Amino acid sequence: MKSGKGQVKKPRTGSNCNVGAESCTVGVKADMTLVPVSDADRDLLDRITAEVILPNGPSAVAQTAWPSSTAPSGRSSAPPRKCTDMSLSETNRHKDPAAVAPLDRALRICRRAGRGATWLSGFAFIAVCALVMAEVLLRKFFGVTLGGMDEITGYVLAVSVTWTLAFALLEQAHIRIDVLYNLAGRRMRAALDLISLAAMTGFVLLVTYWAGQLLKSTLQFGSTSNSALQVPLWLPQSLWFGGLVFFSLTLLLLCLRVFVYLLRGDAAGISRLAGIKAVEEEVEEQAAISHLDPATQG
């Protein structure tokens, strides 16, 4: 390239700069950070691409953008349809069918109820800790005991555990051994998730049944605790049984939702609902919590 005075001028191109072949001489150098992408993120991107962006394949998008009918002048008889012309309902109809909408709504209700029960259980544990501390101090310095604290602590522990199991399930917080799980493929992981969910559902339903039988016999005989408090056992057992019923209902709803994914052959959906969180996801969650918590800030 020559200038008006006949001198050769080097073209200013950014191609080599963009690919990192040479240093960038134009503008300010940008700092880039490589972010690792987990398998769950790839599965979610594939599902969104298949169901929302390309619900009927690439040919359907091509037909939408470039209508086949043309006017005699050679131009299209109708203007190309823009992405902004698609309504939100048209975009969402390619997601989960309307038949599973009640299941999703019920699971959201279970999640909110489980979160509330988890908060209440946490406050109950704090209250019990405060009472135990007060009893220790009173016994140490004044020789006075409140009495029955071990019994009350047991009731609070049993009731709180059953009412928080559902929220832990929906948050994928239950402990699972993932030594072989992480080595398996996507379909094998989905099969293991189905087996574990079915085994847990069967076990919890069995425990819930016998808990109901125990509550029934307690009400029949009017049993009370064998302690100085003489607590009617139907009261803590009713709360304990209610938590098991709530957990069983959540498990059944989750099984139905996972069964829909199974019928559709969506292994990623099964793992997303009933699987194990990847290490990257747990690290990201902890990093987000640390970022939002002012106590961790320097």
Q: What is the pLDDT of residues 219-259, one digit of tens each?
A: 999 999 988 889 999 999 999 999 999 999 999 999 999 99
Is pLDDT larger for residue 199 or for residue 14? 199
Question: What is the pLDDT at residue 23?
Answer: 64
User: What is the rounded CA–CA span in Å between residue 131 and residue 256?
Assistant: 43
Helix (H, G, I), strand (E, B) or coil at 244: helix
The pLDDT, as a whole number, for residue 206 is 97
Do the Cβ atoms of 270 and 261 come closer than 8 Å? Answer: yes
Pick the more confident residue, 208 or 85: 208
Decide if pLDDT at 296 tops 60.
Answer: no
Q: Which of 82-91, 140-149, 285-294 has the lowest mean pLDDT?
A: 82-91
Q: What pLDDT does 292 receive?
A: 58
So what's the pLDDT on residue 89? Answer: 36
pLDDT at 53 over 60: yes
Residue 114 has pLDDT above 60, yes or no: yes
Q: Which residue, among 40, 47, 32, 42, has the nearest Cα to 280 in the 3D structure?
A: 40
Higher pLDDT, 61 or 268: 268
Q: 31 vs 191, which has greater pLDDT?
A: 191
Taking 90 as the threshold, does the pLDDT of residue 160 lie above it?
yes
Per-chain mean pLDDT for the chain: 77
Confidence band (pLDDT; 50, 70, 90) for 124? very high
The pLDDT of residue 75 is: 44
Answer yes or no: is pLDDT of 295 > 70: no
Least confident of 105-109, 121-125, 144-148, 224-228: 144-148
- Summarize the confidence of residues 64-85 as an average pLDDT: 43
pLDDT for the residue 208: 97
| Axis crossing angle, helix 234-264 with helix 101-141, rounded to the nearest 10 | 150
Task: State the pLDDT at residue 217.
Answer: 96
| Among 211, 165, 189, residue whose Cα is nearest residue 258 | 189
Q: What is the mean pLDDT of residues 264-284?
A: 79
pTM greater than 0.75:
no
Residue owning tokens 């950070």: 33
Boundaries of every domain in the chain: 98-296
Contacts of 277 (CB under 8 A, 6+ apart): 172
Rg, Å, the chain Cα set: 30
Residue 51 has pLDDT above 60, yes or no: yes
CA 205, CA 95: separation in Å to the nearest integer? 32
